[in-house]
Chain A
């Protein structure tokens, strides 16, 4: 069964917006080594986004390539989950988001790799190994910050609490993935001596193009060059 254009846009936009947020950490993380690690993960996500958006454009059949989809859509046309567009106001918030989204992506890509859409299965098979690495990186930091000093514990817990409500939206189309996702995430939180937040408020709308204002600012920065100089090349 072939995936829908909306489905591919959701996957591709999750990856693209994650890449853009991680890219913003360049020169701002605690050490140069972490700059490189986050940029590496951002580039993995960007690579996945390119493949997914290219496929979405081909399937749509309206002549839009990856650049047209990445640079020339407005916020209302983006299909990413709200979680990935949230601003990283603290290193711990970024790590919490990366932990949650990469645990989700790993399970999802694992499933898609064995799915009926051959082209999507190929993309997923390549990407799932990267997701496992992203998850590992986020988990290592969660452990170190959660089980570190009083300050690092407090800030890591605050990061987890802040973004937890936004994780519900990830499972709207695959509710059955949440069980495995929870066991992965709860295990990391427990080992990091962090409390697993209670479920309650579950903001949604990203998959329908209803986003937080944060996405508009992110897109403005990401798209300004292409909009000012359409087709510009290095």
Chain B
């Protein structure tokens, strides 16, 4: 049956105030059952206070082939980090 039940990505918010994080995936026939399965698979030990499930097919992902074009240009742009800038003498409240 694995071929028939679609894949869902599961996101769990561990505590109030934190963001939902991806924790894994599962199979389920529909969204409601996916949420139930996620509860059984990923929050058995009080790991979370909120769950999102998203059809894996709806996730648009960057391709490993595009890794160089996507991520390498950021490597030599140190001025994007705040530590690149010197704080002027006497600047308060920074």
Binding site for B on A (CB under 8 A): 30-34, 36-37, 40, 136-137, 140, 144
Q: Which B-chain residue is minimally distant from A43 (CB atoms)? A: B44
Residues on B with C-beta less than 8 A from A36 are 37, 40-41
Contact at A40–B44, with CB atoms within 8 Å? yes
Task: Tell me the residues in window 40-85 of chain B with beta carbons closer than 8 Å to chain A beta carbons.
Answer: 40-41, 44
Q: Mark B2-46, 1 if CB is under 8 A from A, else 0.
A: 100100000000000000000000111110110011001100100
Contact at A31–B1, with CB atoms within 8 Å? yes
Contact at B40–A40, with CB atoms within 8 Å? yes
Q: Which A-chain residue is minimally distant from B38 (CB atoms)? A: A33
- The answer to whether A30 and B1 touch (CB under 8 A), given A140-B32, A140-B33, A144-B29, is yes
Contact at A137–B36, with CB atoms within 8 Å? yes
Contact at A33–B1, with CB atoms within 8 Å? no
Distance A137 CA – B36 CA, assembled complex (angstroms): 8
Distance A136 CA – B35 CA, assembled complex (angstroms): 12
Distance A212 CA – B24 CA, assembled complex (angstroms): 44
Interface of chain A, main secondary structure: helix
Which one of B30, B32, B40, B44 contacts A33 once the chains associate, using CB atoms below 8 Å? B40
Distance A136 CA – B33 CA, assembled complex (angstroms): 11
Residues on A with C-beta less than 8 A from B36 are 37, 136-137, 140
Distance A140 CA – B5 CA, assembled complex (angstroms): 16
Contact at A31–B2, with CB atoms within 8 Å? yes
Binding site for A on B (CB under 8 A): 1-2, 5, 26-30, 32-33, 36-37, 40-41, 44
Residues on B with C-beta less than 8 A from A40 are 40, 44
- The answer to whether A37 and B37 touch (CB under 8 A), given A31-B1, A144-B29, is yes
Between A and B, 24 residue pairs with Cβ closer than 8 Å are A30-B1, A31-B1, A31-B2, A31-B5, A31-B27, A31-B28, A32-B27, A33-B26, A33-B27, A33-B28, A33-B37, A34-B37, A36-B40, A36-B41, A37-B36, A37-B37, A37-B40, A40-B40, A136-B36, A137-B36, A140-B32, A140-B33, A144-B29, A144-B30
Distance A144 CA – B30 CA, assembled complex (angstroms): 10
With both chains docked as a complex, state the minimum distance between the C-beta of A163 and any C-beta of chain B, in angstroms.
23
Q: Which B-chain residue is minimally distant from A136 (CB atoms)? A: B36
With both chains docked as a complex, state the minimum distance between the C-beta of A144 and any C-beta of chain B, in angstroms.
7
With both chains docked as a complex, state the minimum distance between the C-beta of B31 and any C-beta of chain A, in angstroms.
11
Distance A149 CA – B65 CA, assembled complex (angstroms): 42
Output the residue of B5, B26, B27, B40 with the most chain A CB within 10 A.
B40
Residues on A with C-beta less than 8 A from B37 are 33-34, 36-37
With both chains docked as a complex, state the minimum distance between the C-beta of A147 and any C-beta of chain B, in angstroms.
12
With both chains docked as a complex, state the minimum distance between the C-beta of A233 and any C-beta of chain B, in angstroms.
24
